[in-house]
Amino acid sequence: MIIKNPKKHYKAILKKYFVPNAFIRRYNIYFKISARFYNKNKPLHHGSFWYYLSQTQWDNFIDSLLEPINETLEKANNLFEVGMGCGAALKRIHQKHPKLSLNGLDPEKKAIKLAHKHLPAGKYSVGNGLNMDKIPSNSYDIVISHCVIIYLKNLTQVKQFCNELIRIAKPGAKIMITSMIDENGKHLGTGNIKIPKNWWANNLKNITLDKLITIGELPGCEHQKDRYAVYLTKK
């Protein structure tokens, strides 16, 4: 059965059976459904629940997110994405930088299978960004994590997660993380936790805070006023 609008379809089912939204977020139900029922005729990012962006909008979105580290991307040998989903961001990076070695992990097995299918040259594994002890320290020129950190439980986990990203990055490496903070501090919409913009410089060691941009200012993402991207350099 091909479902034309999986997001709408499964939201209706979840609502019908009164599944609490907190439970859905905690166990990443939306993302599991999205990857497992991915329609191969649709853009790959639809497998990671980004249904509202066309392929062109997605490409422009990823290009805009990576623009602040584009100079490093052109010179880098390798890149690691933590929480890569189906590999849609890596696919766009590969199109722009085909010589770059791609690596990543995600807790959803089906998502990793899709990534292997669409980007067979990369090295991907099933895993959790809170504990990447199998990934060697000081290994990557660029480390990114897109729309993942907001699903952690608290700021203690956020710090643990970020320290893992910093650990696997080489000295001088660029790190990009997208996060979220609600303007009023009351309604998050998606995700579990808001991270104040001043948190990064005050809580992480061995990094330099290079830049912070509001994702809602990027074309096609005007409704994401509560999301931002932070750019770090490992000392």
Give the domain ranges of the chain: 55-234
- CATH code of 55-234, in short, is 3.40.50.150
pLDDT in tens, 198-228: 899 999 999 999 999 988 788 777 777 778 9
Question: For residue 25, what are its two tokens?
Answer: 């977020």
Among candidates 233, 230, 193, 194, which has minimal Cα distance to 213? 230
3-state secondary structure at position 212: strand
Handedness of CA 107, 110, 111, 115 (dihedral sign): positive
Q: Please report, rounded to a whole number, the percentage of residues in the chain having pLDDT higher than 90.
A: 56
3-state secondary structure at position 116: helix
DSSP state at residue 210 = E
- Range 117-136 average pLDDT: 94
Q: How far apart are CA 165 and CA 8, in angstroms?
A: 34
Check residue 32 and give its pLDDT: 62
Match 């997208």 to its residue by tokens: 178
Q: How far apart are CA 154 and CA 96, in angstroms?
A: 35
pLDDT in tens, 135-184: 999 999 999 999 888 888 888 999 999 999 999 999 999 999 998 765 44
> pTM score > 0.75 for this model?
yes
